[in-house]
């Protein structure tokens, strides 16, 4: 169906080709998964199928890509539109119209299908994707999972024979991801659509793949094969495969079900081993509370304006409380109650994972903790201060937030300039930010433009900027979006270190594996209310949606991560 013949792609101004030596054939009706560390050219490879590379992005493509008999060199993306449906990483950037039904029809209108055909296909697609109730809704009002489904639906209506998806589930909560994957399953099984998709969250998708294409390193030739074979050699693999390798299972299991079947022996071996101790908030406060800046340096006028806030800071400081306390917090946005009666305490050295579906109020809670959002009810106290009423300059040394899009934090042209600015903002000694950057991001030059960093590097830079103020409370919003396993492992290491130093960490995430690795406590939010709050093991193991794969495989034993199991086995051996 798709044939790559000695394809290589080189963008202008780069020394090495982004892709080279791609010689592959994707058979019709298969679900093919594209895996590899970030920055190896997965998106570029996907782009060559729809013709967007090189017709839209520029760059030089040598070799040939033939899709359904059409050569992408001679066919522009619009001339492949009836054959290939493409959904990019950000569904919002995909939408052309503003209601669901129009969006589903847009592609067919461009292709000039007859009105009665369009009508029938829109109805079918609404049913297929479970969108019938949303048909008249403006797209901007939908949740992330719904938007992703609309984006997929909008490329399905012209009945393409090939579907190309770039990270379709990365931004989704576990339940919404299941929804999207179920739809893809159905397309492959019932309609014989060929699906080519790239995804970092392998634990969600690898079990559905018929074939896996591994791009091992930038510019290296890809390897294609059955999922179990490829997972053995892949530098990125999901916990289930990791556990399978550890236990020496053959064939390598890819789904929790397969693994459970073979896990009897492992469970027995582990039964004798020491039961997994839930990770403890071991370290006690070692982060010293920063003194409240006396008169901060701004001009007389600014000082006049902020005098009130400072007065309050000074008054509150003597009783500064290292524990973050949220009591009865309510936040309203217009008519919507984003948070209701939320009560939460975070002690120094503790790591808390906030989970819950898209739109449950996780980001709002983080916003209230950092002072971006003013509570409509209840109180928030961070270091004894109310964040929304305190001068940002004072707050930055008490609480730091790495937002969902780390790029928002970066304004300067070079890494060095960012660091200098961060030192000034936080009133830290010169060079303290640069030292953090070198620690978190070894090998990044001073003159690098933040835009040229990879997703993971950018996150690390933003983290360093935030940490410059040495805030005792660190908040991260969806930190693993777009990170590969290696970048994630580095992040886990860094955050563990910070927790051990006494930083309190709150992370909002959909990534159950990350929560299992890091969190001492898990708080689950639903519709703006706290529905569960307890030690990670207890909250997560009992939940089908939020349990990590290791827990599912080894239940009823309470193992959460592969590294715990590895530790126990090594200790036992």
**Alpha-carbon span 396 to 66, nearest angstrom:** 54
Cα–Cα separations (whole angstroms), residue 184 to 87, 346, 363, 411 = 13, 40, 29, 39
Contacts of 416 (CB under 8 A, 6+ apart): 434, 446, 447
CB of 100 to other proteins, least distance (A): 10
Alpha-carbon torsion (409, 412, 413, 419), positive or negative: negative
CB of 427 to other proteins, least distance (A): 9
CB of 434 to other proteins, least distance (A): 16
Q: Assign residue 112 a region: left if phi > 0, alpha if psi is -120 to 50, beta otherwise? A: left
Closer of 241 and 433 to other proteins (Cβ) = 433
CB of 225 to other proteins, least distance (A): 29
Closer of 115 and 497 to other proteins (Cβ) = 115
Closer of 56 and 534 to other proteins (Cβ) = 56
Rounded to the nearest 5 percent, the helix, strand and coil shares of the chain are 45, 20, 35
Closer of 262 and 427 to other proteins (Cβ) = 427
Closer of 123 and 327 to other proteins (Cβ) = 123
Please enumerate, as own/partner, the contacts of 443-450 that have beta carbons within 8 Å and a separation of 24 or more.
444/415, 445/415, 446/414, 446/415, 446/416, 447/414, 447/415, 447/416, 448/414, 448/415, 449/413, 449/414, 450/407, 450/410, 450/412, 450/414, 450/415, 450/418
Closer of 1 and 465 to other proteins (Cβ) = 465
CB of 502 to other proteins, least distance (A): 21
**Residue 402, CB half-sphere, CA atoms under 13 Å: how many?**
28
Closer of 114 and 277 to other proteins (Cβ) = 114
**Alpha-carbon span 338 to 341, nearest angstrom:** 10
CA dihedral angle for residue 397, residue 401, residue 406, residue 412, rounded to 10 degrees: -20
CB of 381 to other proteins, least distance (A): 18
Closer of 97 and 563 to other proteins (Cβ) = 97
Contact predicate 480/514, CB 8 Å: yes
Closer of 78 and 189 to other proteins (Cβ) = 78
Closer of 155 and 441 to other proteins (Cβ) = 155
CB of 73 to other proteins, least distance (A): 16
CB of 160 to other proteins, least distance (A): 10
Contact predicate 438/381, CB 8 Å: no
Give start and end residues of each alpha helix (H) in 10-92.
42-50, 52-55
CB of 197 to other proteins, least distance (A): 16
Contact predicate 62/7, CB 8 Å: yes
CB of 514 to other proteins, least distance (A): 22
Q: Which helix (H) or strand (E) holds 364?
A: helix 362-370
Give the count of beta carbons closer than 10 Å to the beta carbon of residue 329: 26
In the structure encoding, which two tokens stand for residue 516, read together? 């299992």
**Residue 251, CB half-sphere, CA atoms under 13 Å: how many?**
10
Per-residue DSSP letter, 406:
G
């Amino acid at each position: 169906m798709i044939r790559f013949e000695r394809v290589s792609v080189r963008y202008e101004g780069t020394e090495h080709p982004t892709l080279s030596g791609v010689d592959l054939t994707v058979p019709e009706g298969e679900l093919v998964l594209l895996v590899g560390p970030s920055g190896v050219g997965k998106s570029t490879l996907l782009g060559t199928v729809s013709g967007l590379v090189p017709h839209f992005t520029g760059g030089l493509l040598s070799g040939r890509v033939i899709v359904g008999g059409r050569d992408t060199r001679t066919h522009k993306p619009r001339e492949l539109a009836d054959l290939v449906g493409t959904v990019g990483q950000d569904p919002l950037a995909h939408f052309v119209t503003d209601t669901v039904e129009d969006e589903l029809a847009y592609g067919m209108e461009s292709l000039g299908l007859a009105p009665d055909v369009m009508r029938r296909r829109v109805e079918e697609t609404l049913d297929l994707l479970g969108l019938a109730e949303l048909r008249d809704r403006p797209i901007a009002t939908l949740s992330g999972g719904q938007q992703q489904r609309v984006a997929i639906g909008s490329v399905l209506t012209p009945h393409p024979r090939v579907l190309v998806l770039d990270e379709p589930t990365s931004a989704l909560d576990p339940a919404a991801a299941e929804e999207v994957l179920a739809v893809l399953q159905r397309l492959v099984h019932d309609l014989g659509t060929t699906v080519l998709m790239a995804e970092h969250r392998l634990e969600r998708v690898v079990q559905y793949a018929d074939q896996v294409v591994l791009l091992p390193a930038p510019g290296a030739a890809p390897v294609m094969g059955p999922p179990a074979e490829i997972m053995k050699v892949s530098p990125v693999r999901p916990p289930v495969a990791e556990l399978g390798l550890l236990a020496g299972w053959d064939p390598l299991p890819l789904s929790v079900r397969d693994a459970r079947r073979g896990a009897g022996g492992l469970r027995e071996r582990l039964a004798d081993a020491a039961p997994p101790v839930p990770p403890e908030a071991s370290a006690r406060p070692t982060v010293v509370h920063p003194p409240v800046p006396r008169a901060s340096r701004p001009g007389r006028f600014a000082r006049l304006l902020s005098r009130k806030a400072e007065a309050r800071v000074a008054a509150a400081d003597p009783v500064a409380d290292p524990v973050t306390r949220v009591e009865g917090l309510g936040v309203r946005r217009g008519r919507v109650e984003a948070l209701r009666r939320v009560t939460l305490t975070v002690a120094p050295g503790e790591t808390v994972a906030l989970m819950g579906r898209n739109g449950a109020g996780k980001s709002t809670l983080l916003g209230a903790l950092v002072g971006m959002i003013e509570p409509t009810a209840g109180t928030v106290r961070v270091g004894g201060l109310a964040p929304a009423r305190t001068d940002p300059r004072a707050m930055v040394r008490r609480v730091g937030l790495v937002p969902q899009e780390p790029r928002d934090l970066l304004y300067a042209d070079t890494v060095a300039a960012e660091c200098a600015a961060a030192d000034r903002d936080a009133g830290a000694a010169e060079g303290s930010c640069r030292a953090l950057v070198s620690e978190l991001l070894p090998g990044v030059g001073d003159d690098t433009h933040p835009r040229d960093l990879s997703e993971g590097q950018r996150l690390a830079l933003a983290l360093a900027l935030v940490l410059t103020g040495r805030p005792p409370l660190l908040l991260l919003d969806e930190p693993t979006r777009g990170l590969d396993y290696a970048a994630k492992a580095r992040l886990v290491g860094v955050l563990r270190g910070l927790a051990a130093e006494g930083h309190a960490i709150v992370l909002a995430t959909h990534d159950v594996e990350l929560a299992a690795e890091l969190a001492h406590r898990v708080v689950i939010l639903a519709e703006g209310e706290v529905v569960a709050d307890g030690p990670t093991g207890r909250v997560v193991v009992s939940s089908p949606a939020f349990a990590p794969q290791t827990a599912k495989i080894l239940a009823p034993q309470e193992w959460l991560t592969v590294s715990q199991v590895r530790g126990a086995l090594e200790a036992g051996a």
